[in-house]
Structure 1
Amino acid sequence: MIHGTHNAIEDPRNANIKIMINDEFYDRQDAKISVFDSGYLVGDGIWEAFRLHKGHLAFSEMHLKRLWSAAASVGMTFPFSKKELLDKVWKVIELNQMQDNVHVRVMITRGIKKTPSQDPRLTISGPNVVIIAEHKKANQDSKEKGITLFTSTIRRGSPDYLDPRLNCHSKLHEVQALVQAIEAGADEALMLDINGFVSTCNATNFFIVRDNEVWTSTGEYCMNGITRQNVIRVCEKHDVVCKQKNFSLFDVYNADEAFVTGTFGGLTPVTKIDGRIIGEGKYGDFTKKLSGFYEQLIEEECA
């Protein structure tokens, strides 16, 4: 079994889900898109992920704001509003009769190209919108066991050539980092920024706990994680010192605890990095406390 932050309990219902492509519904095996799609050709697309919790899309406004920011960044114009896109998401959820423990992925590409090319002026259609909702409950065993990380030689890029805050389809550098980590025997990759400070992981944001303080990167070179933002929020709410700062592997290796954050898995403990055991090498009490605060925030959001 693949071990990592996206471990989900197998759910046979996913074999029969309906997927929306440009307002039309398709069975899973029939959900296809043209080879002339700009996302397939040159990675010209953006995406967002939502979590359905007890009939509510948690932090949907924050996710939509991030998606619209990404569109503005790449010069993509949507022929629909935030409300209209959210209505599409709900149509998918309702058709699949979903209520809880659901992960929704919205992918929007620039559209169909006249010919294989980077040039956006050769796009001959409006944006292609794909919405996939799956029954995905995080495997609690993964959280209890924790994950291991390996520090990749692939760096998080500078904002002046591919801003790490952009949720785009161009993820090859993150895949390269993950491949390195897997080949080193770890579950996922830890990535440094261009100055050698700890930035983020290949698919999640990274935190450490030192002397009852929570540290995470400055945010200049890391993913614009919604869960990261919410962990910072709950720290402020519960008077937990949370510092957004530069720190190095020197600080990581002797941390008391470490964890990563993401929309799907919430907070997942990290037990080992580069072969070094972090703290006591288990799901630490401080991380458990923060995870409880985060779950409480979700309940409040979806009340």
Structure 2
Amino acid sequence: MATGTHEYDDDPRNADILISVNGELFPREKAVVSVFDSGFILGDGVWEGLRVIGGGVAFLDAHLDRLYEGAKSIDMDIGLSREGLASRIFDCLDANAMSDGVHVRLMVTRGLKKTPYQDPRVTIGPATVVIIPEYKTASEDIRRRGLNLFTVHIRRTAPDMQDQKLNSHSKLNCILACIQATKAGADEALMLDPDGAVATCNSTHFFIVRDGEVWTSDGLYCLGGITRANVLRVCRDNGVPAREKRFSLVDVYGADEAFVTGTFAGLTAVHQVDGRLIGTPPGDGERTGPVTRRLAGLYKELARRESVRPA
């Protein structure tokens, strides 16, 4: 089944992985949480996706910054120091003898509830911390053919509704956007902000290239993406003009190139938006334009340099 930027080839090693649930390791089929867990009942929690490269985690500090900031914003105590949580991640990786080609889902919920109700005061236990490491690499076929995006009617909400900077377990608006794009035959949804300007995709961040200049949204209506920020950093460090700004679908349809970013796949070219072909493919079957290709390589180098394992 095609899943857009998150498409991957099944790896048989994943059948035998050990998953960390509150510090205990369980085989895949026995890794469970209670039906009274806040995450199951209400989607009450925050999470991160991490990429393991060369024995370290890429941009670990930035991911932990975002996780702890999200926890603070929902008034949730993770119950572990940053150092303690990082140690737990690497304990899980070590138990699985994993050092490369791994994607980790780190999830923290408010914990067990006395009864199924939203009020945090009926929580009766510490936070639930789950770490799922899997051997996953992005599909080469998707990278070569590029993505097909569809602009959906589901909008990104304003900060006074549900702030999109919060990486919460509550992702229903993104799920609805994903469903609409899938029904339209696309790989992923392109989402607009409340005023109709381009915001982001349902599970990745969106960029366009016009006349050698890289544009992405102003960031108010999207998650504070780690990969997004590092692509902008790579642009600055390598003399590529880049702007965070508001722009419309007209700007997208007339772009020379487009791409999306995310921890799982890095940079992935966009070939089509709403039936409009983006730019002119190089002609060798490769649909990644020159600017996107260059940035993808620079980002990959940066991620490898900044994959760390705390001492």
User: Could you say which TM-score interval applies, normalised by the shorter chain?
Assistant: over 0.9
- Secondary structure of residue in 2 paired with 1:26: strand
Deviations 1:75-117 (A, max 9, x none): 1012210010000000110000001010011100001111110
Q: Structure 1 length normalisation: TM-score?
A: 0.98
Asked if the contact 2:60/2:307 (under 8 Å) is kept, the reply is no
Aligned to 1:283: 288
Residue 242 of structure 2 corresponds to residue 242 of structure 1? yes
1:299 shift after superposition = 2.6
Q: Which moved more, 1:290-299 or 1:251-260?
A: 290-299
Residues 74-85 of structure 1: pairs in structure 2 closer than 5 A = 74-85=74-85
Residues 1-303 of structure 1: pairs in structure 2 closer than 5 A = 1-281=1-281, 282-302=287-307
Q: Which moved more, 1:273-282 or 1:186-195?
A: 273-282
Deviations 1:155-208 (A, max 9, x none): 011011211111101001100000000000101000000111000000000000
1:137 shift after superposition = 1.4
- How many aligned positions are there? 303
Runs of at least 5 residues in structure 2 that lack an aligned partner in the other structure: 282-286
- Secondary structure of residue in 2 paired with 1:5: helix
Q: Which moved more, 1:229-238 or 1:27-36?
A: 27-36
Asked if the contact 1:3/1:142 (under 8 Å) is kept, the reply is no
Asked if the contact 2:213/2:242 (under 8 Å) is kept, the reply is yes
- Secondary structure of residue in 1 paired with 2:5: coil
Identity of aligned residues (%): 53
1:241 shift after superposition = 0.5
Task: Let me know the Cα RMSD of the aligned residues.
Answer: 1.0
- Secondary structure of residue in 2 paired with 1:288: helix
Q: Which one has more relative contact order, counting CA pairs under 8 Å at least 6 apart? A: 2
Q: Which 4+ runs in 1 deviate beyond 6 A?
A: none
Asked if the contact 1:210/1:257 (under 8 Å) is kept, the reply is yes
